[in-house]
Homo-oligomer: A and B are copies of this chain.
């Protein structure tokens, strides 16, 4: 068969010519905006430097990933992780360099816990002696670790975990034991096949001094060696394995682990804040748990910043491809040969993509504000023992974790669907992005659960403001609550004309938050309604708080502050339009709350949709340059549709025609034979495919495991 396809080109206008025109049609200063958005931690230079090192290493080639069997994905993941570790030594990478390589590789690999919870626990939960023992082993990677908290039966409710650590006063040891199957550790990254040590979270059981009866002092962390350092087989009394395939994180060995009366020494209990007196078997209480809150907040601030880059990736792919893709001529055109319209010019496409583009910037400025709040609060605590802002920070970060991961997870899918058929294909680059990110609404606090913490804070603030209206406080919401209560007592507050000024938009979000806080306050505090019955309102209240933060931080950044690094006027003005679009679009999605609160009138709401459409028209010519500013390299995008150069169709075709292993074989389509590959023969095919379909049977598996 002769291959004539190399002579063919895509129809005009070509993708590269379209993107060139798009870029020529806007005077957004991409470099300046990129620096403005990505200078924290020297992000841009670091990205350039690390990308140059890793992008051509064979192990790091991503193109065959979607074809691989899941076990092979782990094998390759381990090989990649080892390579990264070697590169880190060769190039003297610091932690941020390592993180950058991970980000660009775009794979949560089996060493990931070595940098995160395993390391954090050793650094933060060990006493000095323990640190002295474990830190060198961590740093030399003599121990490969994981963090065993979540169980088969318990995730969100950590206090409910069933794994036990029972103190034996005679042997001065703890017995770690799984009393039930649901006590099995479950989901713990790197546990399944990789780690030789684990931080195990277990109920600390101590005997009562008088009765001798055991009583739990709640979940505590223990350092446990779980596999033999030479054979890498699980130690006697421990059963471990990988939990199997899941949506994403294909290269990660999320594991399960059960203990059968497994003994660990007194020193296994990480004892910086609490401990067990080995002499009397009594519990030593922690002094202040607030420090834990602090680092949780930091993790959640990072989630906001991560969400912005993940969403930017989806929006980059969608914006570029939908500028290039053409479909249908204008229905009102009289010209039968009218050219087809770029899909991004349709308002039904704009309304899905451009508000998300605006959302990337909204998340950015709030992420920055959260870092500032975090570092400021930490300084106050360290310098003057002032813990007052901790509650605010915790509340803000809980709600924002929930909202921002929801915006990004839903946004990815919105972008994918807007790209039609090719959005469903592997060439979109959306599959790993989607599969991995879909974990985020659940991990680090379920999105529908942690919003209770934000609502709880807001009820407290409203109670304080109503109870002690004249007491000076530092919490930012207090002032707006006070105003709201005053104005609702004096006269019917008029609706706000949100289209008149940008400040008015912020005020409307504040008013709606105060209204919802007051409603919930009345139900919970005055009418004493059950907490559970209020949960939906609590969730909505938290959303209103997070949206207000996003809107006001965005507003302050583009109207009040002097941008640092500076921005020229076209760029700043495009960001200001993005602020307006984000705010109005967000308001529109929750319009009935704004109406019910009296923040806006129905006639104002009538004008919101046309205004949104006008803003989208203004932003549209800058869309490609705005996504360019997020500086996401092609290596990370791994997307034919989102390529920087716009050569979409050649790349889609190349991937299918030259890189698809399925195309190497010729098949026998005749149903009368069991032969599958031409010439393979029916018997061989039958044996091969039955084994494939049945996989590991219970029998084989047991045999296999017995060999471990």
Contacts and interface: CB of A to CB of B under 8 A. Distances in A.
B664 A701 contact: yes
A576 interface: no
A671 B418 CA distance: 42
A656 B241 contact: yes
A443 to B, nearest CB: 8
Given A349-B448, A420-B442, A423-B442, A1 B244 contact: no
Contacts of A186: 421
Nearest to A247: B424
Nearest to A418: B448
Contacts of A673: 82
Task: Pick the most buried of A59, A141, A181: most chain B CB atoms within 10 A of its CB.
Answer: A181
Interface residues of A, number: 175
Interface string A126-162: 0000000000000001001000001011111100101
**Shortest 4 CB-CB contacts between residues of A and residues of B:** A64-B695, A664-B704, A591-B592, A66-B245
A613 B536 contact: yes
Task: Pick the most buried of A154, A605, A707: most chain B CB atoms within 10 A of its CB.
Answer: A154
A243 B654 CA distance: 10
Interface string A654-695: 011111111111111101011011100000011011101111
B8 A258 contact: yes
Contact of A76 (B67, B192, B692): B692
Interface string A404-436: 000000000100111011011111000100000
Contacts of A417: 438, 441-442, 447
A671 to B, nearest CB: 4
5 contacts: A2-B260, A9-B180, A152-B652, A187-B421, A347-B533
B3 A239 contact: yes
Contact of A78 (B423, B535, B676): B676
A427 B256 CA distance: 14
A4 B68 contact: no
Task: Pick the most buried of A67, A81, A162: most chain B CB atoms within 10 A of its CB.
Answer: A67
Contacts of A70: 66-68, 662
Interface stretch (A21-29, A200-208, A229-237, A618-626): A229-237
Contacts of A652: 152, 243
A74 interface: yes
A184 interface: yes
Contacts of A418: 448
A694 to B, nearest CB: 5
A536 to B, nearest CB: 5
A362 B707 CA distance: 54
A448 to B, nearest CB: 5
A233 B679 CA distance: 13
A235 B2 CA distance: 10
B59 A693 contact: yes
Nearest to A419: B442
A71 interface: yes
A194 interface: yes
B346 A239 contact: no
A63 interface: yes
A61 interface: yes
A695 B327 contact: no
A602 interface: yes
B69 A244 contact: no
A281 B75 CA distance: 62
A340 interface: yes
A388 interface: no
A475 interface: no
A79 interface: yes
A152 B321 CA distance: 13
B669 A196 contact: yes
Nearest to A160: B340
Contact of A157 (B187, B328, B668, B689): B328
Contacts of A4: 239, 258, 260
A242 interface: yes
Contact of A427 (B1, B76, B162, B244): B244
Interface string A320-341: 0000000110111000000011
A657 B242 CA distance: 8
Contact of A531 (B85, B182, B332, B592): B332
Given A244-B655, A591-B592, A438 B420 contact: no
Nearest to A539: B348
A698 interface: yes
A11 interface: yes
Given A192-B662, A193-B667, A423-B442, A11 B180 contact: yes
A657 B241 contact: yes
Contact of A532 (B187, B253, B346): B346
Given A659-B698, A662-B193, A667-B194, A156 B10 contact: no
Given A241-B663, A246-B424, A649 B181 contact: yes
A650 interface: yes
A468 interface: no
A242 B662 contact: yes
A696 B539 contact: no
B75 A676 contact: yes
Contacts of A427: 244
A654 to B, nearest CB: 8
Contacts of A245: 66-67, 426, 431
Interface in A1-46: 1-5, 8-11
